[in-house]
Structure 1
């Protein structure tokens, strides 16, 4: 190792005395660490000082490093920006990585013939995006408002083909029904889409004026019902406009960061103050930061948070003075399009707010790394955030399929409700319509049967339907719900191999949670319970079939006797292990004697 360290030291001594980014790589060329420097040579040479080599992180890095690369840049600002991009690209394990890099949601207005609105966290070039919105559920509340008042849907129905009848959303007046010919026209639909666009752009005054003209036209044409609906909508839109004006005059936009660390575990809280009041709070956790250096940590954290789609505020408060403050301010100001300042408050109300965020960070640390048992409400809210759900689910129903090479196919449904498993609501299903080994078709059948029955009984849907499986099972469940006319039902699946969560409608944004995440623990626990319940039911069905087929060959043992044996002993193994007295108690002395003799003969035949 000594010769390799000497080679790296020599390479460092030859680096330019200019700003840039440096990359340590291992023998396979994998990037281990990305750093930035005002002076590349001085910064990288410092890694080989005896004091630095004695540090846990630096010593491990140099021991594993095989090569050193660099990129020259014109100034520190470019170096900081490139460092952030390379960290996001390579995810080097010696860098501080923002693992919980979920962004706040956007509202997407698609550019289809019949546009729809969706809540999403990923920006693409396939429509118009509005946002981001926080708190996270604000986007869902706005989309729900659009459904109720403008009747533009979020469904996944194929509008390219004509359907025979509309879904429930049309009947409860939350959709214009473009899927069925004759229910609406392109002109009417386009008018509603224009209204939605103005509403999301914040042009509420223009929208109210436009609708007032339509109301007058409807009144003149004696379409009084339509005129009354427009009058009510104008009133609602004007209320929204008034609230926005009041909020805009009430204060600044500020983000406040603070942390609590007991390396290698670190918790960070981020409070968003908008218009002078706290509107949301986010938590970030690291469980394997072997070396916590606050300067590097907060610089990297700010860059990663605001490059992940978060809105940049006018002011950012952090708990320590940052060496890179001026460069960070310049970069974030460019991103925002207006000046952004980074402060470390020393007194007054702002210092008190920073202390409040710090105490919340400590509480988050305790909840995650010490208590590890947050309340069911807290877990439910965390699940809502992690899966981008419209509401925190109070009830989760989870499905699993079990069989052996397509035989004795069964399914299970288990229920989590208000923080506990509700065993009284568990359900077993025998797969009836599927031939052979087809998990997707089996899932389609079970979901259809379960929620078709709920519809028939007029019972509410759960807050989340969870599927044990990958994308195939997820899409089968979604197809079953769509066939029933059930749309916008929160639906997710948990794939076993990587413990990856897929949320229907966001499949291109798979969710990988930290292994210590209470949300992951919850969905794993529910999934494992569904699997256990399905396997137990499958085993009992298989044992019953085996017992029936083998005992049916014994003279004098008929179907009623077999049924009694199954009920009492459960399996062929249980029957064979029973004494003659136990058998006699179940089926009578004569039948027990015949059965015992027959079983002895079967055993002899097997051994022979």
Structure 2
């Protein structure tokens, strides 16, 4: 039975599915409300040439499934299977850092207290986790000194002939030697430690005070002094707790920064309203392990993607996509789906944890957020808030963590940034330039279906963008959608002017586009007699650099290469500048056309109105009296009638038929 036939036999119940390759290795694990429908959808996605889904389906030769009763069970099972099988098409948690707990071995004859990072079902009591990690060690040391619980690794299941040094310096009750203490006294001490770790200082203080008074009355002054010291310790810990505690509940806050197919995630642990610790996660090969289509919910595929901010990679204006920005996050189409990522990450982080904070804040929403919150609430025994705040203090906190994630990204992936001269030398070698590139001029075209076609030229010189030399162009001789002809016109106009003014040419002309734009730019230079000018282009998606004269051997740089980052930076700035100018031209066109439709409003009147009211909207909202401060009463009447939708009459009283 081939794979497609097997998929037709899958049940329609909830469960998990496991894709296997020819070697029998599990390469992907997913969950679904309807196993048959979800697994069958992979063939449709693969047929539509989705890169990552196509890669998965080319390797998959078999599929197994496990049915469960509901989605929550599928969520938990998926997490367990991913951690057991480690399939390479799933997002895998690379950071295995865990926070410590304090363990109280209640089943031993003489229980001990120590720090552990692993929870076991062994009838012991576990307290924590503690943030930062050294807090657990400090508390255990305090317990050893104050409550005299042994800190050694001596076997207490039997008695020994003599006690160690800790007993003689009064740091241990000495349960290892028969007669030094009694099981009843030791049991009471363990009860005190339990109250201390459970955060019940009042109950513990009352018990210690009562026993101290009894010891003093019985003239057991050493015991009374030890109990007094324990009361002082409880007081000190209680005071510190009151200082650190506010009305805020415990929370974990996430932020991320994604760039050049690399991802940095920061997790801030807040306890009692204070940031007590942070964790850093990094993924360097994320596209190989995560695709937004490799998820079991169709809604996830429509979730926002992330791209860098416009200074790094501006959206194509021709698509007219809506843009929503916060903390440098742009919700547009792209290869990275933060919704899919955080859906996978949070399951691995929290489903197996003994302690989950009451509030978890993430920078983006994802489809199974409510389901995961419900499952965590059920396991924790109290309500867990899993939120993606959009405004207010919580959003500000998420933005702060995103900023720190950006810093973590820079420290991890850009810490060895070479000097500008080293980058110039590397660029010269990569593009086989005759001289060191000191000045680069980059061009880009922007339009919407051929309307208001404009171009931009930005300049990089000696290590920095030189904004004083930026230029904007209106494309004059091209009608309709023709990026090649537009590029040819702009390049020719730019360098024909330099020739006429006898000014030097740049070290390199960079074109935003592929081979078509590159050849168009060279044709423009050839027409004005320039044939030896270094010329290159960079294709947007593939990030391949084509050098004129070497088109058959394009330059493919490592995605972490500082040279590639420099070229991308210049290209992206050119794109941003072109998009900004294009939007301005559109606004001017729309503004001019509306005011030009009013009889009696010419260019000078229009300019005075816009300078006075600031915008067409301001003119629309202005009353007759306000308008007469700029124009005469008759023109003010025509303007008001135009915006009120009433017919406009000439001075002779004849309505104007438009």
Fold-level match, TM-score > 0.5? yes
Please report how far the alpha carbon of residue 232 of structure 1 lies from its aligned counterpart in structure 2 after TM superposition. Answer: 2.8
Match of 1:327 in 2: 371
Please report how far the alpha carbon of residue 351 of structure 1 lies from its aligned counterpart in structure 2 after TM superposition. Answer: 1.6
> Is structure 2 residue 32 aligned with structure 1 residue 37?
yes
Judged with a 3 Å threshold, the aligned counterparts in structure 2 of structure 1 residues 50 and 250 are, in CA distance, closer, same or farther, namely closer
Count residues in correspondence: 368
Q: For each residue in 1:398-436, what CA deviation from the matched residue of structure 2 results, as whole angstroms up to 9, or x when unmatched?
A: xxxxxxxxxxxxxxxxxxxxxxxxxxxxxxxxxxxxxxx
Match of 1:513 in 2: none
Question: Conserved in 2, the CA contact under 8 Å of 1:253 and 1:273?
Answer: yes
> Is structure 2 residue 305 aligned with structure 1 residue 308?
no
> Is structure 2 residue 193 aligned with structure 1 residue 149?
no
Gaps of 5+ in 1: 374-608
Which one has the bigger helix percentage? 1
Match of 2:233 in 1: 236
SS in 1 for 2:111: coil
Match of 1:58 in 2: 53
Q: For each residue in 1:97-147, what CA deviation from the matched residue of structure 2 results, as whole angstroms up to 9, or x when unmatched?
A: 113233321111112222211111112233222222222222111101101
2:167 to 150, 167, 170: 170
> Is structure 2 residue 224 aligned with structure 1 residue 227?
yes
Judged with a 3 Å threshold, the aligned counterparts in structure 2 of structure 1 residues 273 and 160 are, in CA distance, closer, same or farther, namely closer
Judged with a 3 Å threshold, the aligned counterparts in structure 2 of structure 1 residues 173 and 371 are, in CA distance, closer, same or farther, namely farther
Please report how far the alpha carbon of residue 310 of structure 1 lies from its aligned counterpart in structure 2 after TM superposition. Answer: 5.3
Question: Conserved in 2, the CA contact under 8 Å of 1:46 and 1:52?
Answer: no
SS in 1 for 2:176: coil
> Is structure 2 residue 221 aligned with structure 1 residue 200?
no
Aligned-residue RMSD, C-alpha: 2.6
Match of 1:345 in 2: 389
> Is structure 2 residue 137 aligned with structure 1 residue 93?
no
SS in 2 for 1:371: coil
CA distance in 1, matches of 2:259, 2:152: 46
Q: Which structure has the larger Rg?
A: 2
> Is structure 2 residue 115 aligned with structure 1 residue 119?
yes
Please report how far the alpha carbon of residue 220 of structure 1 lies from its aligned counterpart in structure 2 after TM superposition. Answer: 0.8
Match of 1:296 in 2: 340
CA distance in 2, matches of 1:279, 1:80: 30
CA distance in 1, matches of 2:13, 2:62: 20
Match of 1:356 in 2: 400
SS in 2 for 1:312: coil
CA distance in 1, matches of 2:76, 2:256: 23
SS in 1 for 2:277: strand
Question: Conserved in 2, the CA contact under 8 Å of 1:102 and 1:308?
Answer: no
Match of 2:209 in 1: 212
TM-score (norm 2): 0.52
CA distance in 2, matches of 1:173, 1:222: 19
1:75-474 alignment, distance < 5 Å: 75-110=70-105, 111-126=107-122, 127-160=124-157, 162-163=159-160, 165-244=162-241, 249-262=246-259, 264-289=261-286, 290=288, 291=290, 292-309=336-353, 311-371=355-415
Judged with a 3 Å threshold, the aligned counterparts in structure 2 of structure 1 residues 163 and 347 are, in CA distance, closer, same or farther, namely same
Please report how far the alpha carbon of residue 349 of structure 1 lies from its aligned counterpart in structure 2 after TM superposition. Answer: 2.2
Please report how far the alpha carbon of residue 249 of structure 1 lies from its aligned counterpart in structure 2 after TM superposition. Answer: 4.9
CA distance in 1, matches of 2:189, 2:47: 64
Please report how far the alpha carbon of residue 318 of structure 1 lies from its aligned counterpart in structure 2 after TM superposition. Answer: 0.7
Q: For each residue in 1:564-605, what CA deviation from the matched residue of structure 2 results, as whole angstroms up to 9, or x when unmatched?
A: xxxxxxxxxxxxxxxxxxxxxxxxxxxxxxxxxxxxxxxxxx
TM-score (norm 1): 0.56
Gaps of 5+ in 2: 291-335, 418-658
